[in-house]
Amino acid sequence: MAQMTMIEAIREAHDVAMGADKRVVVYGEDVGFFGGVFRCTAGLQEKYGKSRCFDAPINESGIVGTAIGMAAYGLKPVIEIQFADYVYPAFDQIASEAARLRHRSNGDFTCPLVIRMPTGGGIFGGQTHSQSPEALFTHVSGLKVVLPSNPRDAKGLLLASIADPDPVIFLEPKRLYNGPFDGHHDKPIVSWKNHALGDVPDGDEIVPLGKAHTFREGSDVTVLAYGTMVYVAEAAAEETGVDAEIIDLRTLLPLDLEAITESVKKTGRCVIVHEATRTSGFGAELMSLVQESCFYHLEAPMIRVTGWDTPYPHAQEWEYFPGPGRVGEALRKVMED
Protein backbone atom coordinates (compact mmCIF):
# COMPACT_ATOMS: atom_id res chain seq x y z
CA MET A 1 0.00 0.00 0.00
CA ALA A 2 1.32 3.43 -0.98
CA GLN A 3 0.04 6.98 -0.71
CA MET A 4 -0.67 8.35 -4.19
CA THR A 5 -2.42 11.16 -5.98
CA MET A 6 -4.89 10.18 -8.68
CA ILE A 7 -2.26 11.10 -11.27
CA GLU A 8 0.22 8.71 -9.68
CA ALA A 9 -2.39 5.97 -9.35
CA ILE A 10 -3.29 6.22 -13.04
CA ARG A 11 0.40 6.15 -13.97
CA GLU A 12 0.87 3.09 -11.72
CA ALA A 13 -2.03 1.29 -13.43
CA HIS A 14 -0.40 1.90 -16.83
CA ASP A 15 2.90 0.59 -15.50
CA VAL A 16 1.38 -2.56 -14.00
CA ALA A 17 -0.60 -3.35 -17.16
CA MET A 18 2.33 -2.67 -19.52
CA GLY A 19 4.65 -4.77 -17.40
CA ALA A 20 2.25 -7.70 -17.39
CA ASP A 21 1.19 -7.66 -21.04
CA LYS A 22 3.32 -6.59 -24.01
CA ARG A 23 0.18 -6.02 -26.06
CA VAL A 24 -0.64 -2.91 -24.01
CA VAL A 25 0.42 0.24 -25.88
CA VAL A 26 -0.06 3.82 -24.70
CA TYR A 27 -0.23 6.92 -26.86
CA GLY A 28 -1.83 10.32 -27.46
CA GLU A 29 -0.93 13.98 -27.73
CA ASP A 30 2.22 14.69 -25.66
CA VAL A 31 1.80 11.33 -23.92
CA GLY A 32 5.27 9.93 -24.66
CA PHE A 33 8.30 12.14 -24.13
CA PHE A 34 6.48 14.79 -22.08
CA GLY A 35 4.39 12.32 -20.06
CA GLY A 36 1.01 13.89 -20.76
CA VAL A 37 -0.29 17.36 -20.02
CA PHE A 38 -1.25 16.19 -16.51
CA ARG A 39 1.78 13.84 -16.26
CA CYS A 40 -0.30 10.66 -16.03
CA THR A 41 2.09 8.80 -18.35
CA ALA A 42 5.38 10.31 -17.16
CA GLY A 43 8.31 7.88 -17.36
CA LEU A 44 6.51 5.19 -19.35
CA GLN A 45 8.32 5.89 -22.62
CA GLU A 46 11.68 5.82 -20.89
CA LYS A 47 10.82 2.48 -19.25
CA TYR A 48 9.04 0.69 -22.11
CA GLY A 49 10.41 2.37 -25.21
CA LYS A 50 9.00 4.44 -28.05
CA SER A 51 7.15 1.53 -29.63
CA ARG A 52 4.90 1.09 -26.59
CA CYS A 53 4.48 4.66 -25.34
CA PHE A 54 4.59 7.37 -27.95
CA ASP A 55 3.29 10.75 -29.09
CA ALA A 56 0.54 11.12 -31.67
CA PRO A 57 -0.29 13.98 -34.04
CA ILE A 58 -2.91 16.50 -32.94
CA ASN A 59 -5.71 14.52 -34.55
CA GLU A 60 -8.26 12.90 -32.24
CA SER A 61 -10.03 11.00 -35.02
CA GLY A 62 -6.67 9.63 -36.11
CA ILE A 63 -5.69 8.63 -32.58
CA VAL A 64 -8.95 6.76 -32.00
CA GLY A 65 -9.09 5.32 -35.52
CA THR A 66 -5.61 3.80 -35.35
CA ALA A 67 -6.33 2.46 -31.87
CA ILE A 68 -9.41 0.63 -33.15
CA GLY A 69 -7.27 -0.99 -35.83
CA MET A 70 -4.67 -1.98 -33.25
CA ALA A 71 -7.36 -3.47 -31.01
CA ALA A 72 -8.85 -5.49 -33.87
CA TYR A 73 -5.33 -6.72 -34.70
CA GLY A 74 -4.83 -8.01 -31.15
CA LEU A 75 -3.13 -5.17 -29.29
CA LYS A 76 -4.60 -3.45 -26.23
CA PRO A 77 -4.26 0.31 -26.79
CA VAL A 78 -4.75 2.77 -23.94
CA ILE A 79 -5.04 6.20 -25.51
CA GLU A 80 -5.35 9.66 -24.02
CA ILE A 81 -7.52 12.45 -25.36
CA GLN A 82 -5.89 15.51 -23.81
CA PHE A 83 -9.22 16.97 -22.63
CA ALA A 84 -12.68 15.41 -22.91
CA ASP A 85 -13.71 18.56 -24.79
CA TYR A 86 -11.49 17.46 -27.68
CA VAL A 87 -13.11 14.07 -28.26
CA TYR A 88 -15.88 15.20 -30.62
CA PRO A 89 -13.88 14.83 -33.87
CA ALA A 90 -13.42 11.16 -32.91
CA PHE A 91 -17.03 10.50 -31.94
CA ASP A 92 -17.82 8.79 -35.24
CA GLN A 93 -14.94 6.36 -34.78
CA ILE A 94 -16.03 5.63 -31.21
CA ALA A 95 -19.77 5.25 -31.84
CA SER A 96 -19.74 3.71 -35.32
CA GLU A 97 -16.60 1.56 -35.20
CA ALA A 98 -15.26 0.78 -31.70
CA ALA A 99 -18.67 0.24 -30.10
CA ARG A 100 -19.98 -1.87 -33.00
CA LEU A 101 -16.99 -4.06 -33.81
CA ARG A 102 -18.03 -7.06 -31.71
CA HIS A 103 -21.60 -7.02 -33.04
CA ARG A 104 -20.91 -6.31 -36.71
CA SER A 105 -18.33 -9.13 -36.80
CA ASN A 106 -20.64 -11.57 -35.01
CA GLY A 107 -18.06 -11.89 -32.25
CA ASP A 108 -15.11 -12.62 -34.53
CA PHE A 109 -13.44 -9.39 -33.42
CA THR A 110 -13.46 -7.41 -30.20
CA CYS A 111 -12.15 -3.96 -29.41
CA PRO A 112 -10.10 -4.01 -26.17
CA LEU A 113 -9.56 -0.26 -26.21
CA VAL A 114 -9.42 2.26 -23.34
CA ILE A 115 -9.94 5.94 -24.10
CA ARG A 116 -8.79 8.09 -21.18
CA MET A 117 -9.98 11.69 -20.91
CA PRO A 118 -9.70 14.40 -18.21
CA THR A 119 -13.21 15.71 -17.60
CA GLY A 120 -15.12 18.39 -15.70
CA GLY A 121 -14.43 21.89 -14.46
CA GLY A 122 -13.30 23.64 -11.34
CA ILE A 123 -9.88 24.60 -12.74
CA PHE A 124 -10.83 27.82 -14.60
CA GLY A 125 -10.55 26.00 -17.91
CA GLY A 126 -13.43 27.85 -19.53
CA GLN A 127 -15.92 26.40 -21.96
CA THR A 128 -13.45 24.36 -24.06
CA HIS A 129 -11.58 22.68 -21.18
CA SER A 130 -14.35 21.96 -18.66
CA GLN A 131 -17.01 19.86 -20.34
CA SER A 132 -18.53 16.66 -18.92
CA PRO A 133 -19.68 14.57 -21.92
CA GLU A 134 -20.34 11.28 -20.11
CA ALA A 135 -24.03 11.12 -21.08
CA LEU A 136 -23.14 11.09 -24.78
CA PHE A 137 -21.21 7.86 -24.36
CA THR A 138 -23.79 6.14 -22.14
CA HIS A 139 -26.19 6.44 -25.08
CA VAL A 140 -23.93 4.31 -27.31
CA SER A 141 -24.54 0.57 -27.07
CA GLY A 142 -21.29 -1.39 -26.89
CA LEU A 143 -19.34 1.06 -24.74
CA LYS A 144 -18.54 0.99 -21.04
CA VAL A 145 -18.24 4.30 -19.19
CA VAL A 146 -16.09 4.67 -16.06
CA LEU A 147 -15.63 7.71 -13.82
CA PRO A 148 -13.52 7.25 -10.64
CA SER A 149 -13.55 9.61 -7.68
CA ASN A 150 -10.30 8.74 -5.89
CA PRO A 151 -6.81 7.28 -6.46
CA ARG A 152 -7.63 3.80 -5.17
CA ASP A 153 -10.56 3.42 -7.54
CA ALA A 154 -8.69 5.11 -10.39
CA LYS A 155 -5.97 2.47 -10.39
CA GLY A 156 -8.27 -0.50 -9.85
CA LEU A 157 -10.87 0.63 -12.39
CA LEU A 158 -8.24 1.43 -15.01
CA LEU A 159 -6.71 -2.03 -14.61
CA ALA A 160 -10.18 -3.55 -14.99
CA SER A 161 -10.81 -1.41 -18.06
CA ILE A 162 -7.54 -2.45 -19.71
CA ALA A 163 -8.39 -6.11 -19.06
CA ASP A 164 -11.88 -5.72 -20.54
CA PRO A 165 -12.36 -7.11 -24.06
CA ASP A 166 -14.63 -4.22 -25.12
CA PRO A 167 -14.09 -0.45 -25.47
CA VAL A 168 -14.10 1.60 -22.27
CA ILE A 169 -14.48 5.37 -21.95
CA PHE A 170 -12.40 6.27 -18.88
CA LEU A 171 -13.20 9.78 -17.64
CA GLU A 172 -10.91 11.35 -15.04
CA PRO A 173 -12.21 14.35 -13.04
CA LYS A 174 -9.27 16.70 -13.43
CA ARG A 175 -10.27 18.65 -10.29
CA LEU A 176 -9.52 15.48 -8.31
CA TYR A 177 -6.11 14.70 -9.81
CA ASN A 178 -4.17 16.07 -6.83
CA GLY A 179 -6.70 15.94 -4.03
CA PRO A 180 -10.38 15.69 -3.05
CA PHE A 181 -12.52 18.77 -3.66
CA ASP A 182 -15.69 19.61 -1.74
CA GLY A 183 -16.74 22.58 -3.85
CA HIS A 184 -15.37 25.27 -1.52
CA HIS A 185 -12.87 26.84 -3.89
CA ASP A 186 -11.79 29.43 -1.33
CA LYS A 187 -10.55 26.83 1.16
CA PRO A 188 -6.99 25.44 1.26
CA ILE A 189 -6.31 22.56 -1.13
CA VAL A 190 -6.37 19.10 0.45
CA SER A 191 -3.89 16.52 -0.83
CA TRP A 192 -4.56 12.85 -1.45
CA LYS A 193 -1.37 12.23 0.52
CA ASN A 194 -3.34 12.93 3.70
CA HIS A 195 -6.54 11.14 2.73
CA ALA A 196 -7.60 7.54 3.38
CA LEU A 197 -8.58 7.05 -0.26
CA GLY A 198 -5.05 8.04 -1.25
CA ASP A 199 -3.91 4.62 0.03
CA VAL A 200 -3.52 2.57 -3.14
CA PRO A 201 -2.89 -1.20 -3.07
CA ASP A 202 0.27 -2.52 -4.67
CA GLY A 203 0.19 -4.81 -7.68
CA ASP A 204 -2.68 -5.64 -9.99
CA GLU A 205 -5.69 -5.47 -7.67
CA ILE A 206 -8.69 -4.44 -9.77
CA VAL A 207 -11.93 -2.67 -8.88
CA PRO A 208 -14.64 -4.48 -10.87
CA LEU A 209 -16.69 -2.51 -13.37
CA GLY A 210 -20.39 -2.16 -12.57
CA LYS A 211 -20.07 -2.05 -8.78
CA ALA A 212 -21.04 1.15 -6.97
CA HIS A 213 -19.60 2.11 -3.59
CA THR A 214 -21.51 3.38 -0.57
CA PHE A 215 -19.30 6.37 0.12
CA ARG A 216 -21.33 7.54 3.13
CA GLU A 217 -24.04 5.63 4.94
CA GLY A 218 -27.21 7.43 5.94
CA SER A 219 -30.95 7.03 6.49
CA ASP A 220 -32.62 10.29 5.38
CA VAL A 221 -31.97 10.50 1.64
CA THR A 222 -29.97 8.76 -1.07
CA VAL A 223 -27.58 10.93 -3.08
CA LEU A 224 -26.44 9.47 -6.39
CA ALA A 225 -23.18 11.03 -7.52
CA TYR A 226 -19.89 10.33 -9.26
CA GLY A 227 -16.51 11.98 -9.63
CA THR A 228 -16.05 15.35 -7.94
CA MET A 229 -19.69 15.54 -6.90
CA VAL A 230 -19.18 12.75 -4.36
CA TYR A 231 -17.19 15.15 -2.16
CA VAL A 232 -19.53 18.05 -2.81
CA ALA A 233 -22.42 15.86 -1.63
CA GLU A 234 -20.46 14.87 1.46
CA ALA A 235 -19.82 18.52 2.33
CA ALA A 236 -23.49 19.39 1.77
CA ALA A 237 -24.64 16.56 4.06
CA GLU A 238 -22.30 17.65 6.83
CA GLU A 239 -23.20 21.32 6.51
CA THR A 240 -26.98 20.76 6.49
CA GLY A 241 -27.08 17.97 9.06
CA VAL A 242 -29.11 15.79 6.69
CA ASP A 243 -28.18 12.14 7.16
CA ALA A 244 -27.53 11.45 3.49
CA GLU A 245 -26.43 8.13 2.09
CA ILE A 246 -24.02 8.88 -0.77
CA ILE A 247 -23.66 6.29 -3.52
CA ASP A 248 -20.53 6.74 -5.64
CA LEU A 249 -21.58 5.12 -8.92
CA ARG A 250 -17.97 4.66 -10.15
CA THR A 251 -19.19 3.22 -13.48
CA LEU A 252 -22.17 4.57 -15.42
CA LEU A 253 -22.18 1.64 -17.85
CA PRO A 254 -22.52 -0.98 -16.54
CA LEU A 255 -24.62 0.63 -13.80
CA ASP A 256 -25.09 -0.92 -10.37
CA LEU A 257 -28.87 -0.57 -10.27
CA GLU A 258 -29.10 -3.04 -7.39
CA ALA A 259 -27.06 -0.78 -5.08
CA ILE A 260 -29.10 2.25 -6.14
CA THR A 261 -32.48 0.67 -5.55
CA GLU A 262 -31.44 -0.89 -2.26
CA SER A 263 -30.43 2.52 -0.94
CA VAL A 264 -33.47 4.41 -2.24
CA LYS A 265 -35.86 1.81 -0.87
CA LYS A 266 -34.17 2.28 2.52
CA THR A 267 -34.25 6.09 2.60
CA GLY A 268 -37.38 6.82 0.54
CA ARG A 269 -35.82 9.94 -0.98
CA CYS A 270 -33.34 10.63 -3.77
CA VAL A 271 -31.16 13.54 -4.90
CA ILE A 272 -29.04 13.20 -8.03
CA VAL A 273 -25.94 15.34 -8.55
CA HIS A 274 -23.73 15.80 -11.58
CA GLU A 275 -21.61 18.57 -13.05
CA ALA A 276 -22.72 18.14 -16.67
CA THR A 277 -25.46 20.23 -18.21
CA ARG A 278 -28.97 19.45 -17.00
CA THR A 279 -30.95 18.62 -20.14
CA SER A 280 -30.40 14.99 -21.19
CA GLY A 281 -27.66 14.64 -18.58
CA PHE A 282 -27.08 11.23 -17.03
CA GLY A 283 -29.16 12.34 -14.05
CA ALA A 284 -32.28 12.14 -16.22
CA GLU A 285 -31.59 8.46 -16.88
CA LEU A 286 -30.99 7.86 -13.18
CA MET A 287 -34.31 9.52 -12.32
CA SER A 288 -36.12 7.28 -14.79
CA LEU A 289 -34.52 4.13 -13.40
CA VAL A 290 -35.27 5.07 -9.79
CA GLN A 291 -38.87 5.94 -10.74
CA GLU A 292 -39.32 2.59 -12.47
CA SER A 293 -37.71 0.56 -9.68
CA CYS A 294 -38.64 2.44 -6.49
CA PHE A 295 -41.89 4.31 -7.18
CA TYR A 296 -43.82 2.86 -4.24
CA HIS A 297 -40.93 3.54 -1.86
CA LEU A 298 -40.47 7.23 -2.70
CA GLU A 299 -41.77 9.64 -0.07
CA ALA A 300 -40.93 12.84 -1.99
CA PRO A 301 -40.21 13.89 -5.59
CA MET A 302 -36.63 13.34 -6.70
CA ILE A 303 -34.41 16.38 -7.27
CA ARG A 304 -31.52 16.93 -9.69
CA VAL A 305 -28.64 19.30 -8.99
CA THR A 306 -26.58 19.83 -12.13
CA GLY A 307 -24.68 22.27 -14.28
CA TRP A 308 -26.73 24.77 -16.25
CA ASP A 309 -27.76 24.50 -19.90
CA THR A 310 -25.03 26.88 -21.03
CA PRO A 311 -21.39 26.59 -22.06
CA TYR A 312 -19.18 26.39 -18.98
CA PRO A 313 -18.46 30.05 -18.12
CA HIS A 314 -14.99 31.19 -17.14
CA ALA A 315 -15.91 34.33 -15.20
CA GLN A 316 -18.83 32.69 -13.36
CA GLU A 317 -17.36 29.23 -12.88
CA TRP A 318 -18.59 28.83 -9.32
CA GLU A 319 -22.14 29.84 -10.25
CA TYR A 320 -22.15 27.00 -12.77
CA PHE A 321 -20.35 24.42 -10.63
CA PRO A 322 -22.90 22.52 -8.46
CA GLY A 323 -21.43 23.42 -5.08
CA PRO A 324 -22.40 22.38 -1.56
CA GLY A 325 -24.80 25.33 -1.27
CA ARG A 326 -26.97 24.15 -4.15
CA VAL A 327 -26.73 20.50 -3.12
CA GLY A 328 -27.54 21.41 0.50
CA GLU A 329 -30.62 23.32 -0.64
CA ALA A 330 -31.81 20.22 -2.50
CA LEU A 331 -31.23 18.04 0.57
CA ARG A 332 -33.30 20.38 2.74
CA LYS A 333 -36.09 20.60 0.17
CA VAL A 334 -36.42 16.85 -0.34
CA MET A 335 -36.67 16.40 3.43
CA GLU A 336 -39.49 18.96 3.65
CA ASP A 337 -41.68 17.29 1.01
Active site residues: 129
b/e per residue 50-63 (b: at least 16 CB within 10 A):
eebbbebeeebeeb
- Strands (DSSP E) contained in 192-289 are 199-200, 213-216, 221-225, 244-248, 251-253, 270-277
Q: Is 21 strand, coil or helix? A: coil
Residue 271, classified by CB atoms within 10 Å of its CB into exposed (0-12), middle (13-18) or buried (19+), is buried
Question: DSSP E strands: which ranges in 176-294?
Answer: 199-200, 213-216, 221-225, 244-248, 251-253, 270-277
Residue 115: phi, psi to the nearest 5?
-110, 105
Given a contact cutoff of 8 angstroms between Cβ atoms, the answer to whether 205 and 156 are in contact is: yes
Distance between CA atoms of residues 185 and 76, nearest Å: 39
Cβ–Cβ < 8 Å for 10, 42: no
How far apart CA 11 and CA 40 sit, in angstroms, is 5
Whether the CB-CB separation of 306 and 283 falls below 8 Å is answered with yes
* Helix, coil or strand: residue 23: coil
Whole-Å CA distances, 86 to 20, 90, 111, 172: 30, 8, 21, 14
296's CB contacts (< 8 A; 6+ apart) are none
Cβ-based neighbours of 110, under 8 Å, separated by 6 or more: 71, 101, 102, 165, 166
